[in-house]
Structure 1
Amino acid sequence: MKVEIINSFIKALESTLNENGGFVLYCKGKKALNCVNINKKVAIIIDLFGKSTIHGKVIITMKEEIAQKIIGFLLGGAVVSEIDSMGVSALGEYGSWVVSSATTNVQEFGEKITDFKVDIETNLEGIEDKEVYCYGKPFISLEYLIDNHDIELSVAVS
């Protein structure tokens, strides 16, 4: 994994949350993972594939409260009490914003992102233990604190 690519996604996450939502992020730490656990969390799962020069997964996981705040911002300041189909759609759009921002960032390193898919998982009840893997690639994961809630960015790309 190239550091420049990981940094491009870090910058994309931080700038979209700060500039588009007014969120202030505090980085709590980083770690390496073989998989990302999405149990009792909302997850934005971005697959990079096809003609892109970067392939892999980017996963943004968060507690329901942060997801509701992001959805509320995207819906014009609405108060969101549950994540319905409109909320899932808004989170998908937010995932696309992150990819668009990262696409601009990686171009300066001669890379391109052309093909991607954004999926939203809302495993809030935690009925089953869900983990996401990336074809044997390890994830670099950064933990942030926003409004006293955790949000995590995990990147596994090549």
Structure 2
Amino acid sequence: MSAAPQMNAQHINAITNAAVIIVKEHLGMQTGFSKPYVSGSQFMSSDISVVMGVNGTLEGQIICTMKNQTALSIVGSMMGGMKVETLDEMGWSAIQEFGNWVAGRAASELAKAEAAIDISPPVINEGRSTFRVEKTFLTIPLTSEAGEVLLHVSITPRVNE
């Protein structure tokens, strides 16, 4: 039995860079990171999660989780600095689009690392949840003036069977 494929630091860095670029360019906010940590195959999400599947030369998931207040700040920034107090249909669509931006930029950054991927349409999860998955996730805390977004990443080379 062969060992499970491992995540590649170059691929993780590409996704991290994508998130930084999106927050800086689309939201106009400076970003920083706290120390990444291994979440394992089970982790608790924040109030809102954007779940995206990765397929191609790599496979896995990218899950962005955030507190409700962070989501409201992100949506407000996406809407030109409006004060957003609740997430309505347009707000949920904006959070989904934020996930699309991160995933789309991640695909571009991964292409530079010679990894061709497709991203599934984002699925939004509202409410704290426990994610249970087969693979190990690395969690990268992204900080900005909007709040903290936890990037939970599990991508490995596709195994051809």
Following the alignment from structure 1 to structure 2, what is the Cα–Cα distance between the partners of residues 108 and 147? 29
SS of 1:140 mapped into structure 2: strand
- State whether residues 92 and 118 of structure 1, in contact with CA within 8 Å, keep that contact through their aligned partners in structure 2: yes
Following the alignment from structure 1 to structure 2, what is the Cα–Cα distance between the partners of residues 53 and 63? 32
Q: 1:153 matched to which residue of 2?
A: 151
Q: 2:89 matched to which residue of 1?
A: 85
TM-superposed deviation, 1:32: 0.2
The structure with the greater share of residues assigned to strand is 2
Following the alignment from structure 1 to structure 2, what is the Cα–Cα distance between the partners of residues 42 and 90? 13
- State whether residues 36 and 154 of structure 1, in contact with CA within 8 Å, keep that contact through their aligned partners in structure 2: no
Following the alignment from structure 2 to structure 1, what is the Cα–Cα distance between the partners of residues 115 and 32? 28
- State whether residues 29 and 144 of structure 1, in contact with CA within 8 Å, keep that contact through their aligned partners in structure 2: no
Query: What is the Cα-based RMSD across aligned positions, in Å?
Result: 1.7
TM-superposed deviation, 1:115: 4.1
Q: 1:138 matched to which residue of 2?
A: 136
Show the 5 A alignment for 1:1-158: 1-34=7-40, 35-39=42-46, 41-49=47-55, 52-123=56-127, 126=128, 130-134=129-133, 136-147=134-145, 149-158=147-156
List per-residue Cα deviations over 1:27-65 (Å, max 9, x = no partner).
Answer: 2211101223125x111111113xx21211111111111
- Scaled by the length of structure 2, the TM-score of the pair is 0.84
- State whether residues 104 and 119 of structure 2, in contact with CA within 8 Å, keep that contact through their aligned partners in structure 1: no
Following the alignment from structure 1 to structure 2, what is the Cα–Cα distance between the partners of residues 20 and 140? 25
- Scaled by the length of structure 1, the TM-score of the pair is 0.86
- State whether residues 70 and 146 of structure 2, in contact with CA within 8 Å, keep that contact through their aligned partners in structure 1: no
Following the alignment from structure 2 to structure 1, what is the Cα–Cα distance between the partners of residues 68 and 52? 19
- State whether residues 21 and 70 of structure 1, in contact with CA within 8 Å, keep that contact through their aligned partners in structure 2: yes
Following the alignment from structure 2 to structure 1, what is the Cα–Cα distance between the partners of residues 51 and 140? 15
List per-residue Cα deviations over 1:49-101 (Å, max 9, x = no partner).
Answer: 3xx21211111111111111111122232211011221111111111111111
Q: Structure 2 unaligned segments of length 5 or more: list them.
A: 1-6, 157-161
CA separation of 1:53 and 1:94: change in aligned 2, threshold 3 A: same
TM-superposed deviation, 1:14: 0.9
TM-superposed deviation, 1:147: 2.5
- Once superposed, which parts of structure 1, at least 4 consecutive aligned residues long, lie more than 3 Å away? none
